[in-house]
Amino acid sequence: MTTATVTPSVPTGKVTQVRVLNSEWIKLKSLRSTFWSLFAAIAATVGLGLLFSWGFASRVSDHAHRIDDAATLAVTVPLQPYVIAQLAVGVLGVMVITGEYSTGMIRATLAAVPRRLPVLWAKAAVFGVVVLVVMEIVSFVTFFGGEAILSSQHIQATLSSPQALRIVTGVGLYLTVVGLLGTALGTIIRSTAGAIAALFGILLVLPVLGEVLNLTSWGKHITPYLPSNAGGDLLSNNPDPGSLGPWTGFGYFVLYTVIAMAVAAYLLKRRDA
Amino acid sequence: MIKAEGLTKRYGDKTAVDGLTFTVEPGVVTGFLGPNGAGKSTTMRMILGLDRPAEGSVTVNGRSYADHPAPLHEVGALLEAKAIHTGRSAYNHLVALAATTGIARRRVDEVIDLVGLRDVARKRAGGFSLGMGQRLGIASALLGDPKTLILDEPVNGLDPEGILWIRNLLKELSAEGRTVFVSSHLMSEMALTAEHLIVIGRGKLIADTSVTEFIEQASTGRVKVRSPQASRLGELLAGPDVTVGNVEEGTLLVSGLISDQIGQIASENGITLFELASQQASLEEAFMELTGNSVEYRAPVAERSAA
């Protein structure tokens, strides 16, 4: 081994937001967990979406069961597996940051970008764009595939069916916000297990508690504002009475995520790494 | 140049670093020495802006680390063993760090060759041995060709060849006029690598001196005498300021007299000497002497048995 010190021409480059974005893009695509998580989200959405559509079609064909709201369900049934996909996307969103804390990588990252906040913005942007693009494509593919199966019973919906375009587009939007909420919680909690528990506690457990709240007179006014209820309004064409409406509900879901991200930014800047 | 002034860090009611003031000059290797838990890593993290000091400040080349627009070109750091994502290859780790400041991929290849990791550069860092992890850490430190290097326990986990390599590398880097600040809890390693020492114990500065002076300061000034008439010589040497210890049959350890005086007395009394030698404190002893009261974690049995 030589001990020759390479004294090369290393041009002095300032740290910029664009460079940090590039760095985070390299980081995201160089981990296998990124591909596995996205693969799980894609497989769950497409695979289960087609399976649900097939199940729905065969139920309709069974004349013993008459389904009154077949036209409404025809839009949402193929896309229902978003509920499963959000697990994979949420975990990936958490791991984008907690993977660095658990391995110690965060210290190398923050030493390279000591102003810190560009790292959080870059992680959120790179991960958010990747999830949005991938899951929008997956959502449209699943919708068309599912409707092709439903067309055997002549109950298929199209993008021009009432609310269909909003719901198909909404799947990608909703999943992106779930992932970003995961990134924010991961930055706040800094542990993979803790942040995943918090994320799915908020998304899956709170609505169950909301059911209990609904039994009280005042609780009814709170449940529509719970994050996954509000966010889920975007993906529903058969809303519960009292729900906030698709874009208002989704707006609240985005607002909660922005607040979580602001807390994450404050803590990332202040805390010892 | 690294300049710390009154640097203090507290964790709860425990003071990890307590009012440290020191300067690390360019052109020499400066050792940062102290027992485990003395506050070395905490100090280094504060230099890099990873930990926020409770009081005081530290600057690198005149600015606090976070204020440098291109920090990787200013300071290269190796932090405690692994600051590497285990799922990423060494190559991609370096490329991602390089990207933050626009360093070309050619430079990534250069540092990989420099630390001898070419064969494993595309493998996941999670499978690396401690020594390979250290080499990758050193590669990231050298990435931006920085003026200042901060290395926390760089020889940990390296084999003898690796230790020799890093010793020479550090000397070379300092000879090029860079500031090199290396921590260790091993005095012997520092004696071979460093010219200047900053010694801390329990977060406080104990010594800021050259290696040579450090040893002299702590020297005991004892003389070892071996003679077949040791007991008679012991009686002759005895005096108010002189202590004579009997190490073993025929060997005395004398303090309060220099070897010349002892040789003179022996000769005047016709006593045969087999050996007459001034005892220089070993580096380890010097280190123990100075940090003896500052060791934070110690097994009860080891309670200063040497003294």
Domain extents for chain B? 2-217, 220-279
CB spacing of B66 vs A114 below 8 angstroms: yes
A5 occurs within a structural domain: no
Closest listed residue to residue A6, CA positions, set B239, B127, B169: B169
Q: List strands edge to edge, sheet with B55-60.
A: B14-24, B2-11, B55-60
CATH says B220-279 is which class? Answer: alpha beta
Q: Look at residue B88 in the predicted model and tell me its pLDDT.
A: 96
User: Is B114 in the A-facing interface, judged by CB distances under 8 Å?
Assistant: yes
Closest listed residue to residue B243, CA positions, set B232, B258, B254, B257: B254
Which residue of chain B has the CA closest to A17? B100
Interface of A with B in 98-127 (CB under 8 A): 99-100, 103-115
* Probe site for chain A from B8, B50, B100 (most A CB atoms < 10 A): B100
CB spacing of A14 vs B48 below 8 angstroms: no
* Probe site for chain B from A105, A121, A123 (most B CB atoms < 10 A): A105
**Chain B residues touching residue A3 (CB < 8 angstroms):** 165, 168-169, 172
Flag the least confident range among A4-8, A9-13, A74-78.
A4-8
**Where does the pLDDT of residue A145 fall: very low under 50, low under 70, confident under 90, or very high at 90 and above?**
very high
A12 occurs within a structural domain: no
Q: Determine which helix (DSSP H) or strand (DSSP E) holds B71, and give its type and residue range.
A: helix B71-74
Which residue of chain B has the CA closest to A118? B100
In chain A, the number of structural domains is: 1
According to CATH, the topology of domain B2-217 is: Rossmann fold (3.40.50)
A117-150 and A164-189 helices, crossing angle to 10° = 150
* Probe site for chain A from B72, B85, B117 (most A CB atoms < 10 A): B85
Which residue of chain B has the CA closest to A3? B169
| Domain coverage including residue A222 | 17-270
Interface of B with A in 244-273 (CB under 8 A): none
Q: How far is B179 from chain A (nearest CA, A)?
A: 15
Helix (H, G, I), strand (E, B) or coil at A266: helix
Q: Look at residue B277 in the predicted model and tell me its pLDDT.
A: 85
Q: In terms of residues, how long is chain A?
A: 273
**Where does the pLDDT of residue A219 fall: very low under 50, low under 70, confident under 90, or very high at 90 and above?**
confident
Q: Looking at the predicted structure, is the pLDDT value of residue A10 above 80?
A: no
The residue ranking higher by pLDDT, A155 or A185, is A185
CB spacing of A12 vs B73 below 8 angstroms: yes
User: For chain B, which ranges sit under pLDDT 70?
Assistant: 81, 218-220, 280-286, 289-290, 292-307
Q: Look at residue B280 in the predicted model and tell me its pLDDT.
A: 67
Closest listed residue to residue B105, CA positions, set B121, B127, B129, B128: B121
CB spacing of A30 vs B71 below 8 angstroms: no
A6 occurs within a structural domain: no
A263 occurs within a structural domain: yes
User: Is A18 in the B-facing interface, judged by CB distances under 8 Å?
Assistant: no
DSSP-assigned letter for residue B143: T
Q: Looking at the predicted structure, is the pLDDT value of residue A1 above 60?
A: no
